[in-house]
Amino acid sequence: MKFTSILTGAALALGLAGAALAQEKTKVGFIYVGPVGDGGWTFEHDQGRKAVEEAFGDKVETVFQESVPEGADAERAMTQMALGGANIIFATSFGYMDPVLNVAAKFPNVKFEHATGFKRADNVSTYSARFYEGRAVQGTIAGRMTKTNKIGYIASFPIPEVIRGINSAYIHARKVNPDVEFSVVWVYTWFDPAKEADAANALIEQGADVILQHTDSTAPQAAAEKAGNVITFGQASDMAEYAPLPRVSSIIDNWGPYYIARVQAVMDGTWESTDTWDGIGPGMVKIGEISSAVPADVKAEAEALRDAIAAGEYHPFTGPLKKQDGSDWLAEGETADDGTLAGMNFYVEGLSGDIPN
Amino acid sequence: MFRLEKRPAPSRFWTASTPVLAVVLTMLAGGAMFAFLGTDPLAAIRTIFWDPIFGEFAFYYRGQLLVKAAPLILIAIGLSLGFRAGIWNIGAEGQYIIGAISGAAFGLAFYPSESILLFPAMIVAGALGGWLWAMIPAILKTRFNTNEILVSLMLVYVAEAMLASVSSGLLRNPDGLGFPGSRNFKDYPAAHNNFLIESAGVHWGVVTAILAVIFAYALLNRHLLGFQIRLTGAAPKAARFAGVNPSMLVVICMGISGALAGLAGMFEVTGPAGQISIDFNSNYGFTAIIVAFLGRLNPIGVMLAGLLMALTYVGGDAAASTLGLPGAAIQLLQGMLLFFLLAVDVLANFKIRFGKTEAA
């Protein structure tokens, strides 16, 4: 007997045993890339897990594993959960993409949900949030608030997700302040407080008085607080402990409703492989409270933008827009299609520097 | 009170039994830590040390033990040769990364080749990459007398930066929609380090690790070079009188450990990991240092230590997800292992005498 069929057999046996139990309990697994206490990305996924527990009470059992390296270790961690009888597994980092598909092929009866990826299968869904919508609001506040006209951006990896965020923030900062300049620092990590603090300090020394971050720790917030006269935004999580200054607002990932809906679908037997990409409108992206450090008119402007995006009246990537090299991208009134956004690998006109590769 | 008296020679009994004692102490202290965390200590220890080998899902875990242990053993064997001679290659992690990049790049350059010669050539490329990366600290040491600990360690960070660069640039999957990471070797059969026996977790890296253990054992016990390594470690001056060329020994030991680390990286990237990605390296190169010492720098010991370390990883992950233990608790447990091993080393080198110190 082939090994994969042994695994499948075991899974089936468990599935059958599980089916008897399933009337009472659905087992939900979560794989996290960072520690649950990171205060950002993983923290919010874990909030989503807790929301699932709260919503279903005794009807679910959740398990999670934190700080799982991307690669062979992730494959083992998910196999472990599937063997342990998990009915649905949420893999919450881009780097788990190929491992998810490998494990999913061996456990056809287990449902898999992969965050921020693009490969799907009959039992693999993908989901992500339109964080760039939040970046538009953030850019507006940043452009209005900066006095030095220098905005520092701590970027993690040169992937479409991060590049979209830089473009969206820049477009909207420039819209309200044509003199604004962005300095982007690539730190090649999602979570490394020491590196993030170094990057923040370097940007502040270069004169930046607004720090935007696409990394998960609160270290840049602490660096800005220490430097004084620098504002920041919470990333992935509210980071409200740094409000009202330096943190003036935040982009919050709100996974709870999605997780609850997907677990419900497994319970009802209606789960299907889908691709979800939700933004401010459906509530997957939230704008954290704009603090008292922001003048009332700027706050009103930012909230109006937020509401327009939520209502679908405004798309953050609306033409006329050119690419960095000066070539045309979007004509007047044209909005970007999801395909271009999903694979975005270019800066818009006005941004300086190159995307590293 | 008691005092320590240095033994004329390390005790053979304690040298052999301190690793076992260290494991027992780790279980006790680790159990206490788990109890403080509110987990049943017996259940935790059983999940980590027993279940992967004898538990319900052992059919899966046993294979995973070899998958996890192979790179550790391969790297640690190379390191232990140098460590014996007092040559401190701390940068195996960097050599592992460069070996992986070299092997993968060679294979991807010929995509979509179907030649059966491709995989052997990639193995050579991987070993060569690791060897070259280790030659930098080796040549700097022999020519300019730099410290190989610092140079090899700092080259790890250079290698990590190169890994991030090729993942999002040179080796990026052209069909990957702009996302970082290379093509997956699972979809490239001629370059894939597939399982030879899947249920046992045996791939070419495991076979190579076993060969490396045998090779190192023979080298140390049957070969002049092995004698020179042991002599240099025990008495550097005597070694010089015996005609050992210290520079040559640095180059050879760094070269072997670099090549083996490179091989480990190459087998990992084309097999279990499957692709070059920004976070491909997962500290095998550093963990192997612990494995080398846990194994007493002895090839057979290194093999057993590698399996034990793999067990704490595989079992630790299982405990993290089934018992809800925090990831940091598992790392603490692994740290305790090295800590206790170093602590009980005292027994091998010293006698404990009870009673008052006699006046000299």
* Nearest beta carbon to residue A35 from set B268, B282, B327: B327
Tell me the pLDDT of chain B averaged across its residues.
90
Q: Where do we find the tokens 């080749």?
A: B113
What pLDDT is recorded for position A16? Answer: 47
Average pLDDT over residues A326-343: 91
- Residues A57-70: tens digit of each pLDDT: 999 999 999 989 88
Query: Cβ of A98 and B278 within 8 Å?
Result: no
Does residue B357 register a pLDDT over 60? no
Query: Cβ of B320 and A66 within 8 Å?
Result: yes
Query: Cβ of B321 and A77 within 8 Å?
Result: yes
What pLDDT is recorded for position B311? Answer: 93
Average pLDDT over residues B243-256: 92
* A249 Cα to chain B: minimum distance (Å): 29
Using a CB-CB cut-off of 8 Å, the residues of chain B touching A102 are 186, 274
How many pairs of residues across A and B have Cβ atoms under 8 Å apart?
108
- Residues B183-224: tens digit of each pLDDT: 999 889 899 988 888 778 899 999 999 999 999 999 998 888
* Nearest beta carbon to residue B67 from set A7, A29, A72: A72
Using a CB-CB cut-off of 8 Å, the residues of chain A touching B265 are none
- Residues A261-300: tens digit of each pLDDT: 999 999 999 999 999 999 999 999 999 999 999 999 999 9
- Residues B284-315: tens digit of each pLDDT: 999 999 899 888 899 999 999 999 999 999 99
Confirm or reject contact between A53 and chain B (CB < 8 A): no
Query: Cβ of B327 and A67 within 8 Å?
Result: yes
What percentage of chain A has pLDDT greater than the value 70?
93
- Could you tell me the CA-to-CA distances from A301 to A143, A209, A307 in Å, in that order? 12, 20, 10
Confirm or reject contact between B326 and chain A (CB < 8 A): yes
Does residue A114 register a pLDDT over 70? yes
Q: Packing angle between helix B284-294 and helix B92-109, nearest 10 degrees?
A: 130
- Residues A155-177: tens digit of each pLDDT: 998 888 899 999 999 999 999 99
What pLDDT is recorded for position B343? Answer: 87
Query: Cβ of A72 and B268 within 8 Å?
Result: yes
> Is the bond leading into B112 cis (omega within 30 degrees of zero)?
yes
What pLDDT is recorded for position A47? Answer: 94
- A298: tokens are 């700027």
Name the B residues in 287-316 with CB < 8 Å from any A CB. 313-314
Nearest chain B residue to A116 by CA distance is B179
What pLDDT is recorded for position B350? Answer: 83
Using a CB-CB cut-off of 8 Å, the residues of chain B touching A79 are 60
Confirm or reject contact between A170 and chain B (CB < 8 A): no
Tell me the pLDDT of chain A averaged across its residues.
90
Name the B residues in 71-130 with CB < 8 Å from any A CB. none
pLDDT-based confidence at residue A22 (cuts at 50, 70, 90): very low
Nearest chain B residue to A30 by CA distance is B321
pLDDT-based confidence at residue B360 (cuts at 50, 70, 90): very low
- Could you tell me the CA-to-CA distances from A279 to A97, A140, B219, B318 in Å, in that order? 22, 17, 63, 35
- Burial state string for B149-163 with b = 16 or more CB within 10 A and e = fewer than 16: eebbbebbeebbebb
The ranges assigned to domains in chain B are 40-324
Residue-range domains of chain A with CATH: 3-129 (3.40.50.2300), 131-252+285-342 (3.40.50.2300)
What pLDDT is recorded for position A6? Answer: 56
Do A160 and A341 meet the contact criterion of CB atoms below 8 Å apart? yes
Query: Cβ of B172 and A357 within 8 Å?
Result: yes
Instruction: Provide DSSP, A6-69.
Output: HHHHHHHHHHHHHHHHHTT-EEEEEE-SS-TTSSSHHHHHHHHHHHHHHHHGGGEEEEEE-SPP
* Nearest beta carbon to residue A345 from set B178, B280, B326: B178
Tally of CB atoms within 10 A around B360 = 3
Does residue A329 register a pLDDT over 50? yes
Name the A residues in 71-90 with CB < 8 Å from any B CB. 71-73, 75-77, 79-81, 83-84
Query: Cβ of B277 and A345 within 8 Å?
Result: no
What pLDDT is recorded for position B358? Answer: 54
The dotted CATH code for B40-324 is 1.10.3470
Confirm or reject contact between A353 and chain B (CB < 8 A): no
* B360 Cα to chain A: minimum distance (Å): 52
Q: Which of B51, B173, B177, B267 is most worth mutating to test chain A (most A CB atoms within 10 A of its CB)?
A: B177
Does residue A191 register a pLDDT over 90? no
Query: For B200, which DSSP code?
Result: G
pLDDT-based confidence at residue A18 (cuts at 50, 70, 90): very low
Do A196 and A219 meet the contact criterion of CB atoms below 8 Å apart? yes
What pLDDT is recorded for position A1? Answer: 42
Q: How far is CA A165 from the centre of its chain?
A: 10
Can you list the positions of beta strands (E) in chain B? 2-6, 350-354
What pLDDT is recorded for position A3? Answer: 55
Confirm or reject contact between A4 and chain B (CB < 8 A): yes
pTM of the entire predicted model: 0.85
* Nearest beta carbon to residue B169 from set A75, A94, A357: A357
